[in-house]
Structure 1
Amino acid sequence: MASFPAVLRSEWTKIRSVRSTVWTLALTFVVTVLVGGLLSLLTRSNFDEFHKEGTPFDATGTAFSGILLGELAIIVFGVLAIGNEYSSGMIRVSLAAVPQRGTLLTGKAVVLGALALAVSLVTAFVAFFVGQAILGSHSTGLGEPDVLRAVFGAALYLTMLCLFSAGVTTMLHNQTLALGVLVPFFFLLSPILSAVPGARTVARYFPDYAGSRMLLVYQEHSQPYGPWAGFFLCLAWTVAALAGGALVLKNRDA
């Protein structure tokens, strides 16, 4: 019976030894910061066109404009971190070394979550400071109301998105199939339903919309719920995906 610290060390070794997972984490940082910086520059150059008179300007949200592409990269990271073992057949070796399947998945989730959180925190803070530096006189600071909470919210959202993707991949046992489900769900189905009046209410409780609430600094009355409700909704989706993954892993052969 493998001890839990040994499981953690093993999972850490697996992740850092696979180039694709390292590159997707690096890509999460690069695209989020780069796109956020470019859109901050564009906003500063055309401020009057981008800002409606009479409404507060969300400098934090502008700096996080690149998080949509960061979402894609962190989803791919979560899928590859789990799916590589299934595609290579190494999952059988892992299960032989750690027969306690719940312990194995918990170890994977802890290592993935810790790594994703570390990268997401660096990404969120760097994206924020780069965006504010570019926005110049239109910038805001961490000391302003709800700004620091929004920065941490961005990091937590990316982390939960990674774990959600890992849970879905564990359920499906296939990284290609997982990407085939997750990418259309987040980047096609959710935006399409959000644009349809009859389905808009349902789409508002999807994890991507809930996550976007976590980044809010200014809340409008038309919004169905705020940042904390968004956090708990995202958390519920993440826990459900991991629980589903644990159930499938326990009852299905590798």
Structure 2
Amino acid sequence: MKTALAAELSKLLSLPTIWIAVAVGILVAPVIAAIRSFQELSEITKGVHTAAEYPIGLEALGFGVQGVIIVGIIAISSEYFTESEESGGGRQITTSLTANPSRIRFLLSKAAAVATVSAILAIIAITLTIIVVQIILVEHAPAFGITDISRIIGVVCYWVLTALLALGMTILTRHAALPLAVLIVNTSFVTVTYLLTRITPLANYLPDMAGIRMLLEIKDTGSTLTPLLGGVVMAAWVTALLFFGTIAFCRRDV
């Protein structure tokens, strides 16, 4: 399993697109946090506030998750790219399954590689975001204490689960377009699932709306989901997607 994981990590990190994912994952949250911090500093200077409010930084990390969405998608979609004629015109998936005949172990290795890369990106993004907020707001910056550690852990869990959600969707579809469109749009500034909570409270149990509670308090959607329960709900969605994706992957001709 360690050899398979090392192979999948090496393969994932060799993809040109991974560096786009890394850039998005590392830079988006700090940039948004910087913009929000300058806005907050302006309001503090004008006397509107005396100190920055809690969501600065953590709120921005909800958008940086787009980087790990790309990681989860390309981890499996890259296997289906047709190689050039000079390389034989085949697909990577054929070579991968020849080297690792167990399809379940192959997918477990993929999931472990995606989770590892996503967790590392989350930790880097969290660190940079906190530093940016502290540098800009200085003494006005929100204090991060013991009580915020669970929120920071929640960010890492949210990023990892989101990446695995993207992986599961891509395993089912075998294409990057649909998961990329659905997940990127839904984590942009217009969150479709958030709008759905205005129509039905059941939308609170969709994976992203449940999971986001691990890092942010959302009080206007008619739900009392706690961060822990939200994480459990999101993990259940991810488990189901990966389970059915694995069944489909094992049954079909690649």
The alignment's TM-score, normalised by the length of structure 2, stands at 0.85
Query: Do 1:171 and 1:245's aligned partners in 2 also have CA atoms closer than 8 Å?
Result: yes
Q: Quote how far apart the aligned CAs of 1:17 are.
A: 0.9
Deviations 1:188-244 (A, max 9, x none): 5313313x3x32x12211222222211137989965122111111121122122112
Give 1:18 deviation, angstroms.
Answer: 0.8
Equivalent-residue separation in structure 1 for 2:66 and 2:218 (angstroms): 25
Structure 1: any 5+ residue segments left out of the alignment? none
Q: Which amino acid aligns with 1:236?
A: A
Alignment of 1:116-155 (within 5 A): 116-144=118-146, 146-155=147-156
Corresponding position of 1:225: 225
Residues 1-254 of structure 1: pairs in structure 2 closer than 5 A: 4-47=1-44, 58-59=53-54, 61-88=55-82, 89-144=91-146, 146-187=147-188, 188-194=191-197, 196=198, 198-199=199-200, 201-216=201-216, 223-254=223-254
SS in 2 for 1:66: helix
**TM-score between both structures, scaled by the size of structure 1:** 0.85
Distance 1:168 1:50 in 2: 48
Which ranges of structure 2 fall in alignment gaps of 5 or more residues? 83-90
Alignment check: 8 A CA contact 1:37 1:131 kept: yes
Q: How many residues matched?
A: 244
Deviation track 1:72-105 (CA, whole Å, cap 9, x = no partner) reads 2221221112111112321121112212100000
Give CA deviations for 1:152-208 in whole Å, capped at 9, x if unaligned: 2112111110111011101111112322343345555313313x3x32x12211222
* RMSD of Structure 2 on Structure 1 (CA): 2.8
The residue matched to 1:19 in structure 2 has which SS?
coil
Distance 1:87 1:221, change over 3 A: closer
Q: Is the 8 A contact 1:87 1:174 kept in 2?
A: no
Q: Partner letter of residue 179 of structure 1?
A: L
Distance 1:214 1:68, change over 3 A: closer
Q: Judge conservation of contact 2:80–2:92 (CA < 8 Å) in 1.
A: yes
Moved more, 65-74 or 83-92: 65-74
Give the 3-state SS of the residue equivalent to 1:204 in structure 2.
helix
Q: Note if contact 1:190-1:206 (Cα within 8 Å) is conserved in structure 2.
A: yes
CA distance in 2, matches of 1:235, 1:50: 43
- 1:15/1:22 contact within 8 Å kept: no
Instruction: Quote the sequence identity (%).
Output: 24
Higher-helix-fraction structure: 1
